[in-house]
Each structure stands twice: as structure tokens, then as C-alpha cells.
Amino acid sequence: MPITWHIHSWETISKKALYDALTLRSLVFVVEQKCVYQDLDSKDENALHILGYKQNVLVAYARVFLNTKPVSIGRVVIHPLFRRLGYGKHIMQKSIEQVPTKTSIHISAQEHLKGFYESLGFSQNGVGYLEDGIPHIPMVTANQPNV
């Protein structure tokens, strides 16, 4: 069964979909990664929310910021029970599809995922840093990659 994709702005996202997204983000970023941080950062209102469901379970999520400079993708997350099935690539492809062509995309990538993001057309464009205790690197596309 394929993933069912839902793409919402702040104005169109349902309470249920938002709750699903916040639950998944908390499960992975706070509980699994043992990272105490402020997930509710007042940025969700400005994001496009990309949600991938399989049999009514949110398995993939990301948020895309089109109205910021630079355009960015963040909070990319795959449900722990659905990893290693290619859903990371699918959520990134869906997210990239939302960005106008010829637009560079910026991400703050966990360092251990550098190769994954390079396979999608991103390259490191700065020095690594710690974000909430996890090594990250800045990455960017020269323009929208072909995925």
C-alpha cells in the first residue's frame, strides 16, 4: 500500500493532522533522541506541512518554509517502525517538489545523514555545529535538484 500524502498550510491543517505531526516529532526528536528542546517554536504557522500516511498512521513528516529567505526544509522525520523502507527519500522528494524550480534549498542536517542528503542533491556549505547536543551541518542545493 503506497503512502497517502497530505500537504497543508497552517490555515488548512486539521487539528488531527497537527496533533499527529507533533506526536511524531516528539516521539523521535525528544524521546528517541533524548533531546530536550522547544519543538513548538512558533514557526509552524509559516510552514507548509508535508504528511505521509500509511493506513492512517503518520509515517513521514516535514515542514517547508517557502516564504523565508533562504527557502528551507526541516523537522524531517520518519516513524521509527517505518524506517529503512525508503520513506526518508519520499518525504524529501515531496518536500522538494513544493519549492519553485531554480530556488536553492537550505537544510540543517544531522551530520550522520550527510550522504543521504548528498544523494538528493545537497552539499555541505559550512562548518559543523551542535544543535541540541546533536552534530549538524548546513547543507544547500545550488537549485532545485532533480529527484
pLDDT tens by residue, 30-59: 888 888 777 788 899 999 999 999 999 999
Q: Are 51 and 6 in contact (CB under 8 A)?
A: yes
pLDDT of residue 147 exceeding 60: no
Write down the pLDDT at residue 144: 55
Percent of the chain scored above 90 by pLDDT? Answer: 79
Q: What is the tally of structural domains in the chain?
A: 1
pLDDT digits (tens, 9 = 90+) for 110-136: 999 999 999 999 999 999 999 888 899
Report the CATH number at residue 60.
3.40.630.30
In a domain, 39, yes or no: yes
Separation between Cα atoms, residue 55 and residue 51, nearest integer Å: 13
Exposure string for 77-104, b = 16+ CB within 10 A, e = fewer: bbbeebeeeebbebbbebbbebbeeeee
Answer whether residue 27 is part of any domain: yes
Q: Taking the model in full, what pTM does it have? A: 0.90
- 147 belongs to a structural domain: no
What are the backbone dihedrals phi and psi of residue 126, each rounded to the nearest 5 degrees, phi first? 170, 180
Domain of residue 94: give its range.
4-140
Does any domain span residue 41?
A: yes
